Amino acid sequence: MSDFLAAFPQIFASPFQAMLLIVGGAVIGIIFGSIPGLTAGIAIALFLPLTFRMDIIPSFTLLLSLYIGGISGGLISAILLKIPGTPASVATVFDGGPMADRGQGWKALSVGIVFSFFGTIFGILLLCFLAPILGAFSLKLGVFEYFSIALFSLTLVSALCGASITKGILACLIGLFLACVGAAPIDGFSRFTFGIRALDAGFLEVPALVGLFAISELVNSTRSEKVGIHMANFTRRGFGMSVGEFIGQVPNALRSGLIGVFIGTLPGIGGSVCNLLAYGVAKRSSKYPEKYGTGIIDGIVASETSNNACIGGTMVPLLTLGIPGDAVTAILLGAFTVNGLTPGPMFYSQNIRLIYVIFALMFICAIATFLIQFYGITIFSHLLRVPKNILLPMVLVMCIIGSFGTNNRIFDVWTLLFWGVLGYTLMRFDIPLTPIIMGFILGPICEKYLRRGLMMSRNDFSVFFTRPVSGVFLTLSIAMVLITFISQIMKMRKNASRKAAAE
Amino acid sequence: MLEAVTPAARKKTGEDDGASSASRPVFDRHATATLGLIFLYVLGLQYLGFFVMTLLYLFFQFYVLTDRETRDIKRLAVITVLFTPLTYAVFRYVFQMMLPTGTLWTQLGGMS
């Protein structure tokens, strides 16, 4: 607790800068979250180069306020435009849309904002409770376990992201391959550089991430497909809901929050899955499931609480093991490595002070986001009217600045374009992008621990299976891939026999 | 012979991909034009620098993305001319980041 309280003077060491970063980050985050096509991840990737010149605490102040603001902002367009601003707010549309149509737009927004805040705080509280336990556990892990856990994360991401595991694994392998470019870990041997000196250090993270997520998304949203946009109007009236309504939703919110945190801690699936899951569970356990989808606050509560609680969940593996669980935490890991902190078994215990600062920062950012969104909702809703054809090119210019600014090389801007074209092309073939980035980020970590492990065991692979924790994770990884392949073959056989029967 | 094979093959791939991805073409006029413009933008950054290329890129990108009926060239030009110096100033002087200067200008400066 004293560590926790000691964090506040550190955060507000220069109060003006801290407040500017918190408020600015939250506002920009909410804007990125509320505009369909721009996500919290894009905002964080875009602003990462700006933090390179800052100390670690101010840089996390900015990145965390962008993250929390970005996830919270998705509800505005979900309710007013019936288009989720981020994938994390898909389920908010189901009940938020009909409520806005009935003229209850303000009530829907207010419920969403209040329970987003509730979810964030719930997630952070569980994070503060879980992190020390996992942090103590992580001390017992060695090189072998780290390799297996990283490999398990990659398998999980491939299996859970997107509709087909084949495409997930394909995406993950593309990421692993692209991570090989440059000097190999440990011996520094150059791989796949084709004699290009600029590639000696591999692809830089910022242009790769921004290209894969932002450029592909921007190009994709310039496509000529027209969607009629109708924006619902709303008028602010008081708090939007009664105290009784709020108390009635608490059990729903707690359940959805638990789902959010749990899903968040699993690698690969984050907010985009948990809001749908929480909505489904809330509907099934409700006394009036038939009312879901017609515009009741229960649906908004389930979706918004869970996606914000997920933030705390995704931070658990990042802060305790230094292993990112999704695209956003992969970028946050980049912020750690820039400041010289390396992921590994000692990550939690060595950086305990910083981790308490991060907990405190998350509380502050959650409160700031809540206040800004609640009182500034009218302004944010006007921003949704800014035409996309003006906004997207401007964001693209900023992507270019960010990529160039990392190292001041035009080469990195070409990297951005290369990853952007790659991301756009794969997107068109329904290949999920998150496993690519996870392969790209976790690949080198995986390889480093594998090679260190092999050095310790004198090139004996069996140690990876005989150490209990490592063995369990490896077995789980192998089992998961095998089960999916077998079930897919069974499905194909079934289809074939059905076709034969039909003929 | 060929005619007999293609519709069957097309039908088969259509079934595998599901209706959603089969109905959408991979190449799209706007998206392809945007990719081309970004390519030229990056290519030009090397020689003409950030300021000139951003002016050019933004204007043409706005032009491509606005509908022919609602296109107002004056308005697009004004947005471009306002946005570019503002961005340049914010990133160069407030955030103190380097921006591509362009080799052409440094070469011209060297000659004079």
User: Which residue among B26, B58, B79 places its CB closest to the CB of A397?
Assistant: B58
Which residue is closest to A409 within chain B, CA to CA?
B100
Which conformational region is residue A141 in: left (phi greater than 0), alpha (psi within -120 to 50 degrees), or beta?
beta
3-class DSSP state of A190: strand
Q: Does B46 touch chain A (CB under 8 A)?
A: yes
What's the rounded Cα separation, in Å, for the pair A169 and A175?
Answer: 10
Q: Residue A32: name the closest of A80, A60, A67 by CA.
A: A67
pLDDT band (50, 70, 90) for residue B60: very high
CA-based nearest distance B53→chain A, Å: 10
For residues A306 and A260, what is the distance between their CA atoms, to the nearest angstrom?
A: 4
Question: Do residue B28 and residue A223 have CB atoms under 8 angstroms apart?
Answer: yes
CB-nearest to A390 from B35, B62, B98 is B62
Give the per-residue pLDDT at A124.
94
B99 touches chain A (CB under 8 A): yes
Interface contact A400-B24, CB threshold 8 A: no
Rounded to the nearest 5 percent, the helix, strand and coil shares of chain B are: 80, 0, 20
**Which residues are CB-neighbours of A47 under 8 A, at least 6 positions away?**
A25, A28, A62, A63, A66, A402
Residue A269, classified by CB atoms within 10 Å of its CB into exposed (0-12), middle (13-18) or buried (19+), is buried
> Which candidate in B38, B67, B81 is best for mutational testing of the A interface (most A CBs within 10 A)?
B38
Helix (H), strand (E) at residue A87: none
DSSP string, A305-332: HHHHHHHHHHHHHHHHHS---SHHHHHH
Longest dimension (CA), chain B: 70
Is B58 touching A (CB cutoff 8 A)?
Answer: yes
- ipTM associated with this complex: 0.79
Among A355, A452, A439, smallest CA distance to A146 is for: A452
Task: Tell me which residue in A388, A401, A420 faces B91 most closely, judged by beta carbons.
Answer: A401
Percent of chain B with pLDDT over 70: 73
Interface of B with A in 60-89 (CB under 8 A): 61-62, 64-66, 79, 83, 87
Q: According to the model, what pLDDT value does residue A269 have?
A: 67
Instruction: Report how far apart, in Å, the C-alpha atoms of B103 and of each of A29, A455, B81, B110 are.
Output: 36, 48, 23, 10
Minimum mean pLDDT range among A226-240, A312-326, A347-361, A441-455: A226-240
Candidate ranges A114-128, A195-209, A485-499, B97-111; pick with highest mean pLDDT: A114-128
- Looking at residue B56, what is its pLDDT? 94
**CA-angle at A430, arms to A429 and A431, nearest 5°:** 95
pLDDT at B10: 36
Q: How many CB atoms lie within 10 A of CB A30?
A: 32
Q: Give the whole-angstrom CA distance, residue A230 versus residue A82.
A: 8
pLDDT recorded at residue B5:
36
Task: Supply the pLDDT for residue A49.
Answer: 83
For A475-501, the pLDDT digits (tens) are 998 998 888 778 878 888 888 888 888
Q: Token pair 């300021």 is at which residue?
A: B51
Q: Give pLDDT tens digits for A19-42.
A: 999 999 999 999 998 888 788 888
pLDDT at B110: 62
Residues A189-240 have pLDDT tens digits of 888 888 888 888 888 888 888 888 888 888 887 776 555 567 777 877 777 7
CA–CA min distance B12, chain A (Å): 13
* pLDDT tens figures, A129-187: 998 888 888 888 888 888 888 888 888 878 777 667 788 889 999 999 999 998 888 88
In chain A, pLDDT over 70 holds for what percent of residues? 97
Strands (DSSP E) contained in A247-304 are none
Decide if pLDDT at A353 tops 90.
no
Task: Please give the Cα distance from A88 to A71 (Å, whole number).
Answer: 7
Return the pLDDT at A114.
94
Please name the member of B34, B45, B98 whose beta carbon is closest to the beta carbon of A413. B45
Structure tokens at A379: 């302004």
Identity of the residue in B17, B45, B65 whose CB atom sits nearest the CB atom of A389: B65
Contact A468, A165 (CB under 8 A): no
Q: How does DSSP classify residue A183?
A: E
Q: Are A17 and A367 in contact (CB under 8 A)?
A: no
Are B34 and A421 within 8 A, CB to CB? no
* Subunit contact B35:A404, Cβ cutoff 8 A: no
Question: How many Å separate Cα A476 from the centre of its chain?
Answer: 24
Using the beta-carbon criterion (under 8 Å), do B97 and A223 form an inter-chain contact?
no
The pLDDT of B43-67, averaged and rounded, is 90
| Stretch (H or E) spanning A53 | none
Stretch A433-458: mean pLDDT:
88
CA–CA min distance B41, chain A (Å): 10
CA of A224: which chain B residue's CA is closest?
A: B30
Cross-strand partners of A398: none
Instruction: Specify the amino acid at residue A393.
Output: P
Q: Which residues of chain A are at the B interface, by a Cβ-Cβ cutoff of 8 Å?
A: 49-50, 53, 215, 218-220, 222-225, 388-390, 392-394, 396-398, 400-401, 404-405, 408, 410, 413-414, 416-417, 420-421, 424-425, 428-430
Does position B8 have pLDDT exceeding 60, yes or no?
Answer: no
How far is the alpha carbon of A421 from chain B, nearest alpha carbon, in Å? Answer: 8
Listing DSSP states for chain B in one string gives -HHHHHHHHHHHHHHHH-HHHHHS-S--HHHHHHHHHHHHHHHHHHHHHHHHHHHHHHHHHHHHHS-TTT--HHHHHHHHHHHHHHHHHIIIIIS-------HHHHHHHHH-
Please check whether residue A441 is in contact with residue A209, taking contact to mean a CB–CB distance below 8 angstroms. no
Does the structure show a pLDDT above 60 at B58? yes
pLDDT for A187: 81
Contact B34 A218 (CB under 8 A): yes
Name the strand (E) or helix (H) holding A250. Answer: helix A243-265
* Among B54, B66, B97, beta carbon nearest to A397: B54
Residue B2 has pLDDT above 90, yes or no: no
Q: Is the pTM of this model over 0.80?
A: yes
